[in-house]
Each structure stands twice: as structure tokens, then as C-alpha cells.
């Protein structure tokens, strides 16, 4: 393998890892974390935003002081429900309570009211409730293969785009591999994962606005167009580079944005 080829693969790997990390930490299911100063003490928190439907979801906050009291309040997302509250128990230097499990795609919004002596504080502050989404169990093998194929698709897309900068670019094999991994990882395994997790195979266009589904569909369309352009255009490199950049932008969209959610009006 030529040195230039190795360098391009290293660059592609670094770009893909950075993109995947950004997508992960900016998504709506990544834990909400931060810190507040209360009663002269810094309280750090990390509040989960995703949980399995098979269990109640524990909510914990480290306080290291049993004189702190906590109340967990929650209600179903996008409903007119009254807030439900529960006292948090002090265990192992933490205040702990549980959110009740919900059906697949069900969501609860919650917040912690921390108090000591005659003062109290909300966590998170400024009435910014945390939204917890519940998902069904996805078989481990299916989930891992899906994640791996999508990651490889992102890597191949980036590497194919970098081919534009080689003196003698060879797009065809890389472009077809990219399209294949997007198709199998995103359009075949993606709906299977979605069905296990949220009870629906597809919630993107034309049935919904799930960006995880839609961005996979757009990436597939982009690469189909790029491959057609690769065969028909006198300057195939511009089609390939454009598809690679578009795919990088598409997959930079935070995971699970506008994701599946349960319509509680149909549950009651």
C-alpha cells in the first residue's frame, strides 16, 4: 500500500471518529451533565436521558452529605398531567429515586429539587427539565452489527471523498462499497433496530420526522446520485467529493433528533 494511501486512510479514520463523537455527545439521549453551587458546595450531576422499557429508571445525584434532601418530580412528556413527586433516599453518598418505566418511545420529563436547611435549588436550573426516552431491548448482536456497519459506511464515505485529492484517483470500488454499507447498515438493519427499540420499522419520510431515519435515507440518495454522476460526468470527482461532504454533514446531525415518541393521547 502506498504511503499516500495510508495517510488518506488515517485522515479518514480521524475525521470519522471526530464526527461520531460529536454526533454522540450532542444527541438528545446523551446524559445531561453540569454542576451547580448550592449551600456553599459544588454539586455535580449527570442525568440520564435514555432507559430500557424493562425496568424503572434510577435517577441519582452525588451529594456526599446526608443533610441534603431531594425530591424527584416528573410527568409524561407533552401531556397535561400533574407533576408526580417522590422523596429521594440517601444511599452511598447519593440521593436516589426512580422514574416509572414507560412503553417503547414513551417519554418522561423530570427535575430534581434539592434542599438543605431553608434553601433549595432546582437541578437542572431555570426550569429546564430533562427528557427521558424509553426504548425496547435490541438484541446485542443486531445492535453491534448495525453500529459497526454505519461507522464503516461513514469511514468509507470520507475515504472515498479524499480520493479526489490523489493524482490518479480510483473512485469506483470505494463508492460502491460506501453505498453498500449505507444500504445494509442503515436501510436494512436500521429499521430492524428501530422496530425492536420503538415498535416501528420506519418513522422517517413520508411517515414522520425522525432524523435518524431521514438522514440515512438522504445519505443513500446522495450516494446513488454520486455514482450515477461518476459514470456519466466528465468530472466524476466533484460528484464523489460532494457526496462525501454531504454525508459528513448529514451524519454530524445529532443522533435521535426528532426521534420516535409515544402519542400518549392514544394510550389513555
pLDDT in tens, 65-80: 889 999 999 999 989 9
Q: Is the pLDDT assigned to residue 267 strictly greater than 80? A: no
SS3 content of the chain, % helix, strand, coil (to 5): 45, 25, 30
Angstrom CA distances, 101 to 52, 53, 76, 242, stand at 8, 6, 11, 44
Confidence of residue 258 (pLDDT cuts 50, 70, 90): low
pLDDT, residue 132, reads: 94
pLDDT, residue 200, reads: 86
pLDDT, residue 117, reads: 86
What is the tens place of the pLDDT at every residue in 8-42? 999 999 999 999 888 888 888 889 998 999 888 89
- Residue range 136-154: mean pLDDT, rounded: 94
Distance CA 81, CA 188 (A): 38
Least confident of 30-34, 158-162, 241-245: 30-34
Domain borders along the chain are 3-27+138-266, 32-135
CATH architecture of the domain covering 32-135: Sandwich (2.60)
pLDDT, residue 236, reads: 93
Neighbours of 206 (CB within 10 A): 5
pLDDT, residue 14, reads: 96
Least confident of 34-43, 114-123, 209-218, 245-254: 209-218
Q: Exposed, middle or buried by CB within 10 Å (0-12, 13-18, 19+), for 180?
A: middle
What is the tens place of the pLDDT at every residue in 80-120? 999 999 999 999 999 999 999 999 989 999 999 999 888 99
Average pLDDT, the chain: 90
The full DSSP string for 198-262 is HS-S--STTT---HHHHHHHHHHHHHHHHHHHHHH-S-HHHHHHHHHHHHHHHHHSPTTTT----
C-alpha grid cell, residue 53: 422499557
Amino acid at each position: 500500500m502506498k504511503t499516500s494511501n495510508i495517510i488518506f486512510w488515517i485522515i479518514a479514520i480521524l475525521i470519522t471518529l471526530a464526527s461520531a463523537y460529536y454526533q454522540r455527545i450532542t444527541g438528545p439521549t446523551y446524559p445531561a451533565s453540569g454542576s451547580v453551587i448550592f449551600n456553599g458546595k459544588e454539586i455535580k450531576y449527570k442525568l440520564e436521558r435514555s432507559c430500557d422499557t424493562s425496568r424503572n429508571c434510577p435517577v441519582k445525584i452525588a451529594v456526599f452529605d446526608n443533610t441534603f434532601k431531594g425530591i424527584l418530580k416528573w410527568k409524561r412528556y407533552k401531556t397535561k398531567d400533574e407533576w408526580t413527586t417522590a422523596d429521594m433516599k440517601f444511599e452511598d453518598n447519593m440521593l436516589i429515586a426512580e422514574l416509572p418505566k414507560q412503553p417503547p418511545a414513551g417519554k418522561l420529563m423530570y427535575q430534581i429539587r434539592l434542599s438543605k436547611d431553608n434553601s433549595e435549588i432546582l437541578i437542572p436550573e431555570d426550569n429546564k427539565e430533562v427528557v427521558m426516552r424509553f426504548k425496547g431491548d435490541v438484541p446485542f448482536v443486531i445492535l453491534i452489527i448495525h453500529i459497526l456497519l454505519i461507522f464503516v459506511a461513514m469511514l468509507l464515505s470520507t475515504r472515498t471523498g479524499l480520493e479526489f485529492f490523489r493524482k490518479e484517483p480510483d473512485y469506483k470500488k470505494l463508492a460502491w462499497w460506501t453505498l453498500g454499507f449505507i444500504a445494509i447498515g442503515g436501510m436494512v438493519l436500521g429499521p430492524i433496530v428501530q422496530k425492536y427499540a420503538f415498535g416501528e420499522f420506519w418513522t422517517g419520510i413520508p411517515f414522520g420526522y425522525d432524523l435518524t431515519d431521514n438522514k440515512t435515507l438522504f445519505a443513500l440518495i446522495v450516494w446513488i446520485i454520486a455514482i450515477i454522476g461518476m459514470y456519466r460526468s466528465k468530472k466524476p470527482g466533484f460528484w464523489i467529493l460532494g457526496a462525501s461532504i454531504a454525508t459528513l454533514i448529514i451524519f454530524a446531525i445529532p443522533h435521535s433528533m426528532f426521534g420516535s415518541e409515544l402519542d400518549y393521547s392514544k394510550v389513555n
